[in-house]
A and B are shown apart, each in its own frame.
Chain A
């Protein structure tokens, strides 16, 4: 290892000196020496030289030794001639052996060098892996990866582009940030580079930039391929697609204004490194997504907590007010009944506002089930029974026809229907009955609530379904109770849409309104469908 560290000229000098010393020493005792001793000693010199200085030095030493042995150590001395044929054999054998040994040593050295480089690459990969995993922020990890790639490939700058913007940069001179920053800014400002980056990301093919900046699109998918060799010959930048899990996540740009030099081994290594960069980008994206999801969850949780708390906190005092007013009313105070009624109204308005805000936020869960329309209508009648005040609700049930069965959310649909019936009660004369029909309509089932009120003017037929709509001329016969928040129909229509249904208005033949709720019909198999009643 010590010899290996000697510089090339140093080892040549060293071995020339050694050879001279050895020759001088041997010449002084040449009469006592055997041919075998001489060749062995010179062989050691050749091997030493070739091990430390490489193949060329080894071969040069071999030739020099050949001449020196011939000249100084074989009779006749001091002449380049040999008198015994056997001595020729010794000389030639020496030369061949030295050459072969030098060659073998050279090859072993080259392999050792390759192994050392590979070990270095593995070290870098390990370092990169550690950087990727241990950097606190995903962005830091990506910057570290860019830096390692730049150092490994020897390029002046290395940029990682995500969605057209440089996300991480490794630049050559940490102390010379101005120039590096200028380079990076220039690269980002150059629209040609932006286009090339976009092309690479879209086609998942590598590209290069010539020294004058002309982009060259290649068919190479990775950094190491024959298709890239030609394009790289004189190039100032190499752009590689970054693909993680089959998805193009970004572009890696290696650049050196003086010309990029990458041997095939480096480029193979670059492939492995660029995969790390792709994983780094993926990690950045995942981190951002996780952060976003966390924020959403937090907002959702806050919203739910707020809604629950508002609804709980408002209802608790309302309960007390209502209960106390009820007790007072039982004692014969009419005013207490008004308090109780107003408490109920307040409760409805709070519920409506909460529902509307939930519907707007898309936060109303829909639980659809197979339900019978008559169950729904029955529940609605049950719910409005207290508010009827002697008004007539006319219904008809065709027992002979198949039962209209739908797939809908019972609670939401009940809310809609109750709202329609309450509106009908509010906006039609007390003497006129309210009719409720239901029927199957193929893919849908329809439930209609019809009154004999004033109807809705054509200009307002859609506006009545808007939030906070108040009828301009719509005076209810029972003025005191008509004052809602104008949310009922808006909520009703949104609830209908949320379960795949519709809520529409039509004029009633002979005067009045018909509101029709249509909900998806359910198909029951003959076995599932209960038979029609025949008793």
Chain B
């Protein structure tokens, strides 16, 4: 939905199972203006190029090519939000998909409610990303000033280490999106490999201790097991 509450944009469903396409189409009907379907990966790529959808729902078990290849190909020239449907529970696979350019994934069997919520979040983020970035970002009761490099809870300033600041900044600039461990490490340490990657999760835990009300029930930085983390913008 755009800011005026009108449905617009095209959604593309790529799945070889007609029943799944039907379920997904049903779930998307309230969110998008037009929905098109493809049964194979190559057809999906062609439609993505021709119709320029703003959302692509991609199944991994396609008959003609691996879904990750479709994802990689489409991501080369499209800014569409790509939500992957995965039947497998392998988290390394999910991380690979996100690294290949997917925005989100939903594991089968999924509930329509959960699926719609994820799609909505991804569409909203795609819109937010097009707006110019702001200096001050409010995350619940946290206020982050990107220019002054400060974080406050109410009036109380929070002291972050440089790594924690970079982590939080990376999360905020891509709010709502699952960032893989590798993507986070690249963004914070500026290189793809190294020992500190091991301790990324410890830095996140420590950041939570500073910004979450209850670090064991985080509301801002959520864990995506085996994949990475995601910053949830309340509201």
Q: Which of A319, A365, A369 is within 8 Å of B201, CB to CB?
A: A369
Instruction: Write the chain B residue with the least CB distance to A371.
Output: B201
Most buried by B among A367, A378, A533: A378
Q: Judge whether B206 and A378 touch: CB under 8 Å.
A: no
Instruction: Write the chain A residue with the least CB distance to B111.
Output: A326
Q: Mark B149-188, 1 if CB is under 8 A from A, else 0.
A: 0000000101101001000000000000000000000000
Q: Judge whether B225 and A410 touch: CB under 8 Å.
A: yes
User: Within the complex, what minimum Cβ distance (angstroms) separates A292 from chain B?
Assistant: 28
**A228-236, A309-317, A474-482 - the one binding chain B:** A309-317
Q: Judge whether B202 and A403 touch: CB under 8 Å.
A: yes
Q: Judge whether A374 and B205 touch: CB under 8 Å.
A: yes
Q: Judge whether B17 and A370 touch: CB under 8 Å.
A: no
Q: Judge whether A370 and B23 touch: CB under 8 Å.
A: no
Q: Judge whether B199 and A370 touch: CB under 8 Å.
A: yes
**B1-9, B34-42, B131-139, B214-222 - the one binding chain A:** B214-222
Most buried by A among B88, B225, B226: B225
User: Within the complex, what minimum Cβ distance (angstroms) separates B179 from chain A?
Assistant: 15
**A28 at interface, CB cutoff 8 A:** no
**A56-64, A152-160, A278-286, A522-530 - the one binding chain B:** A522-530
**A377 at interface, CB cutoff 8 A:** yes
Which residues in chain A, 368-384, are within 8 Å of chain B measured between CB atoms?
A: 369-372, 374-375, 377-379, 381-383
CA distance A381 to B217 in the complex (A): 7
Q: Mark A294-327, 1 if CB is under 8 A from B, else 0.
A: 0000000000000010011001111111111011
Q: Which of B111, B164, B223, B225 is within 8 Å of A322, CB to CB?
A: B111
Instruction: Write the chain A residue with the least CB distance to B22.
Output: A320
User: Within the complex, what minimum Cβ distance (angstroms) separates B224 from chain A?
Assistant: 9
Instruction: Write the chain B residue with the least CB distance to A385.
Output: B217
CA distance A383 to B61 in the complex (A): 26
Report chain B residues within 8 Å CB of A395.
216
User: Within the complex, what minimum Cβ distance (angstroms) separates A511 from chain B?
Assistant: 25
Report chain A residues within 8 Å CB of B217.
378, 381-382
Q: Judge whether A319 and B20 touch: CB under 8 Å.
A: yes
Interface of A is mostly: helix
Report chain B residues within 8 Å CB of A322.
109-111
Q: Mark B7-43, 1 if CB is under 8 A from A, else 0.
A: 0000000000101101100110000000000000000
User: Within the complex, what minimum Cβ distance (angstroms) separates B129 from chain A?
Assistant: 26
Instruction: Write the chain B residue with the least CB distance to A346.
Output: B109
Instruction: Write the chain B residue with the least CB distance to A405.
Output: B202
Count contacts between A and B, CB distance < 8 Å: 128
Which residues in chain A, 326-348, are within 8 Å of chain B measured between CB atoms?
A: 326-327, 340, 343-344, 347
Q: Judge whether B210 and A535 touch: CB under 8 Å.
A: yes
**B87 at interface, CB cutoff 8 A:** yes
Q: Judge whether B222 and A382 touch: CB under 8 Å.
A: yes
Most buried by B among A312, A316, A344, A374: A316
Q: Judge whether B159 and A347 touch: CB under 8 Å.
A: no
Most buried by A among B113, B202, B210: B202
CA distance A312 to B203 in the complex (A): 36
Report chain A residues within 8 Å CB of B110.
319, 322-323
CA distance A347 to B109 in the complex (A): 8
Q: Judge whether B111 and A340 touch: CB under 8 Å.
A: yes
Q: Which of B92, B108, B203 is within 8 Å of A319, CB to CB?
A: B108
Most buried by A among B196, B210, B223: B223
Q: Judge whether B112 and A326 touch: CB under 8 Å.
A: yes
CB-CB under 8 A for A316 and B19, given A323-B27, A378-B217, A535-B210: yes
CA distance A326 to B218 in the complex (A): 28
Instruction: Write the chain A residue with the least CB distance to B19.
Output: A320
Report chain B residues within 8 Å CB of A383.
225
CA distance A405 to B216 in the complex (A): 14
15 contacts between A and B (CB under 8 A): A312-B88, A316-B17, A318-B108, A322-B109, A367-B92, A367-B226, A371-B202, A375-B205, A375-B223, A382-B223, A383-B225, A403-B202, A410-B225, A411-B225, A530-B206
Interfacial residues, chain A to chain B (CB-CB below 8 A): 308, 311-312, 315-324, 326-327, 340, 343-344, 347, 351, 365, 367, 369-372, 374-375, 377-379, 381-383, 395, 397, 399, 403, 405, 410-411, 414, 524, 528-531, 533, 535
Interfacial residues, chain B to chain A (CB-CB below 8 A): 17, 19-20, 22-23, 26-27, 61, 87-89, 91-92, 108-113, 156, 158-159, 161, 164, 196, 198-199, 201-206, 208-210, 214-218, 222-223, 225-226
